[in-house]
Amino acid sequence: MIKLSGTSRIEEQKLRQPIVVVMGHVDHGKTTLLDKIRGTSVAKREPGEITQHVGASVVPSRVIEQLAEPLKKIIPVKLKIPGLLFIDTPGHELFMNMRRIGGAISDFSILVVDIIEGFKEQTVESLQLLRARKVPFLVAANKIDKIPGWKPYPNEAFINSYAKQSQRTKELLDERIYHLMGELGRYGFNSDRFDRIKDFTRTVSIVPVSAKTGEGIPELLAMLAGLSQQYLKDRLIFTSGNAKGVVLEVKEMPGLGNTIDVIIYDGILRKGDTIVLGSAEGPIVTKVRNLLMPKPLQEIRSPEDKFLSVDEVVAAVGVKIVAPDLDNAVAGTQLYVANTPEEIEDAKNKILEELSKIKIKTDKSGVVAKADTLGTLDALVEALKRNNIPVRIADIGNITKRDVVEASISKQDDETLGVILGFNVKVMPDAKEEAEKLNVKIMLNNIIYKLLEDYFNWKEEVKRLEKIKEMENLVWPAKFRIIPGFVFRRSDPVIVGIEVLGGILKPGSPLMDEAGRKLGILQQIQDKGQSLKEAKPGMQVAISVKGNIMVGRQINEGDIIYTDVPDLHARTFLTKFKGDISDDVKMVLDEIIKIKRKSDPLYAFV
Ligand SMILES: Nc1nc2c(ncn2[C@@H]2O[C@H](COP(=O)(O)OP(=O)(O)OP(=O)(O)O)[C@@H](O)[C@H]2O)c(=O)[nH]1
């Protein structure tokens, strides 16, 4: 007989498997740890028992109890939960944001931290998500085999292996644990090594493990099972009503069409049930044609023979659903079984509400956020909000021409908002063309914090360029002297040789004398026949000045001349660009202010 974890003896079953999600920084060992855990359950599988689900793996309680045998003092309880269901793909953005009504689908989480590296960006991000979603967690302090001097004892319980290490190695490990405790404390979490904790409701457990050697895996599983059974009882009570779940993935399967991989977190799902779920266009109502579970590896006869058709599954389970009309289904959406017209109506409303909450058009001006699933979109929008980045449009799917047009509207208000941020999506060819035409920036990344980092770097660069442009448009303070004997033309335009004494002299600047009398506009600066964009102190150049002036009348050889900086420009230098101008420019500006205030006491008043 084939026993599906979670589907046998429905009536007697009281608690379902807790759903466990592994989180943590890239390369800290999430995948390796999951592989080790999966390997453990496959190795100790009973004939016919299915531990591999669709998108998830189950470690039966029988296996956990067997592993925890040497740890009786730490985990005294007999397990009542049927096992632990691990979501197979690590990646917190999606799974932490797949929500069931009133919380995350994850019942418990493992935060993997490389014991050598300590906390990193995604560790902190994960902690923030865990706190926001109120998900209980423990810390797997991974890679203990890398502690200097560590002697590995494969698949041993940590406490046994630890006891056999040298004093120095024990101390080094303890130091790293204290360090982790400090880091957790910084984010408001009390924590300790699991075997030193008295009150598990107030203290986060740190379990030292090696995903490579398997050391500590017995404790990790025992702690997960013990803690979730003890503290999440109400949440784990099995109900035999209509199934509720979340869609992990939408997949096209040869011969089956579009199928959905679903984690059912509550109730029973049967062949023939009507299900309601979300698509980018609205709720989908369809009927379950088939339910598929992976066959145990040993029983697969051919590549097409990977699945086993079952009549029903009960929570918690990962299952593949075959049904018509799933083409536009989106990952991350809720799924409800609804078998009466009232239930269907109710489920459709819930889906609509969920979709409208996430597909937001909030801020009038803001960035465009696109993601592949509802869960990732939700996570992206939340991260943007947390960083005070306004969002004009958030939607699921690839980046289209319409998104570019929307971004270009925001760009008119604020250059730094004319941008599209895409998480795990593609850019459609016409969108790419339009983006080039409208000069809209598109950023793609599959890690949220990197996407935000890219955005902030780009924003800084845009601001810097804007500043340069704005500064270029100002009349700069400058002071120069007409060199005696270097008058090339007396009027219309005046052409003379000068020496810059201070500030930065640029073409287009209006000029004045030391008494503040206007002297026309500086047209060109030349040096050895070359036009210059600016001249700095010490340079001797030729300039042409247009206006109603003549050498010998308004100006003379040897005169000191200043640029006539408009009031608004002077004030801009003194405020916005205060930190960007040199002392020399500031000194010349002070002289100009003195001259100007003789006729206008409020000039450059800030
Ligand atoms: N020595 C040692 N190496 C480990 C351990 N766990 C993982 N590694 C190594 O660390 C590297 C990263 O491990 P992964 O499991 O890919 O890390 P991850 O967190 O899943 O990374 P992403 O999936 O890329 O986010 C790999 O080279 C692993 O072999 C461990 O306990 N000890």
Tell me: the pLDDT tens digits for 256-302?
A: 888 999 999 999 999 999 999 998 788 999 999 999 999 876 666 67
> Does pTM top 0.95 for this prediction?
no
- The response to whether residue 51 sits with its C-beta less than 6 Å from ligand 1 reads no
Same domain, 204 and 64: yes
| Residue 6: inside a domain | no
Same domain, 336 and 196: no
Same domain, 323 and 444: no
Same domain, 318 and 230: no
| Residue 393: inside a domain | yes
In degrees and rounded to multiples of 5, residue 207 shows phi and psi of: -110, 110
| Residue 1: inside a domain | no
| Residue 8: inside a domain | no
Q: Which of 22, 31, 111 to mutate to test the pocket of ligand 1 (most atoms within 8 A of CB)?
A: 31
- pLDDT, tens digit, 9 for 90 and up, residues 29-46: 999 999 999 888 777 777
Same domain, 351 and 364: no
**114 Cα–ligand 1 center, Å:** 9
Active site includes 179? no
**Contact call for residues 504 and 534 (beta carbons, < 8 A):** yes
Indicate the average pLDDT of the chain. Answer: 89
- The response to whether residue 16 sits with its C-beta less than 6 Å from ligand 1 reads no
Q: 298, 324, 356: which is the final residue of a domain?
A: 356
For residue 211, give the CATH number of its domain: 3.40.50.300
- The response to whether residue 114 sits with its C-beta less than 6 Å from ligand 1 reads no
DSSP label of 108: E
Residue % of the chain over a pLDDT of 70: 92
Taking CA atoms, 549 is separated from 475, 510, 519, 562, 563, in Å, by 20, 13, 6, 15, 15
| Residue 543: inside a domain | yes
Same domain, 421 and 504: no
Q: Which domain holds residue 167?
A: 19-235
- The response to whether residue 370 sits with its C-beta less than 6 Å from ligand 1 reads no
In degrees and rounded to multiples of 5, residue 234 shows phi and psi of: -60, -40
In degrees and rounded to multiples of 5, residue 503 shows phi and psi of: 75, -160
Residue with tokens 């390997």, as numbered in its chain: 39
- The response to whether residue 88 sits with its C-beta less than 6 Å from ligand 1 reads no
Distance (Å, whole) CA 418 – CA 412: 8
Same domain, 175 and 147: yes
Instruction: Check the annotation: does 306 bind a ligand.
Output: no
Whose alpha carbon is nearest atom 12 of ligand 1?
Answer: 27
Q: Which of 23, 27, 38 to mutate to test the pocket of ligand 1 (most atoms within 8 A of CB)?
A: 27
- The response to whether residue 143 sits with its C-beta less than 6 Å from ligand 1 reads yes
| Residues contacting 456, CB < 8 A, separation 6+ | 387
- Strand bridging mode 530-532 / 518-527: antiparallel
- pLDDT, tens digit, 9 for 90 and up, residues 352-379: 988 877 666 667 789 999 998 887 888 8
Q: 200, 235, 270: which is the final residue of a domain?
A: 235
| Residue 2: inside a domain | no
**211 Cα–ligand 1 center, Å:** 8
Instruction: Check the annotation: does 25 bind a ligand.
Output: yes
Q: Which residues of 331-363 are buried (b: 16+ CB within 10 A; e: fewer)?
A: bbbbbbbbeeeeebeebbebbeebbeebbbeee
The one-letter amino acid at 411: K
Neighbours of 304 (CB within 10 A): 9
| Number of domains making up the chain | 4
Same domain, 171 and 75: yes
Same domain, 371 and 406: yes
The gap from C-alpha 449 to its chain's centroid, in whole angstroms, comes to 4
The pLDDT score that the predictor gives to residue 6 is 43
| Residue 176: inside a domain | yes
Give the position, in ligand 1's atom list, of the atom nearest the Cα of 34.
15
Same domain, 465 and 487: no
For residue 392, give the CATH number of its domain: 3.40.50.10050
Same domain, 412 and 533: no
For residue 351, give the CATH number of its domain: 2.40.30.10
- pLDDT, tens digit, 9 for 90 and up, residues 561-579: 999 999 999 999 999 899 9
**7 Cα–ligand 1 center, Å:** 33
Q: 414, 437, 469: which is the final residue of a domain?
A: 469
DSSP label of 310: E
| Residue 5: inside a domain | no
Instruction: Check the annotation: does 53 bind a ligand.
Output: no
- pLDDT, tens digit, 9 for 90 and up, residues 544-555: 999 989 999 999
Region of poorest pLDDT, from 155-164, 202-211, 300-309, 371-380: 300-309
Across the range 579-590, mean pLDDT stands at 95
Same domain, 166 and 214: yes
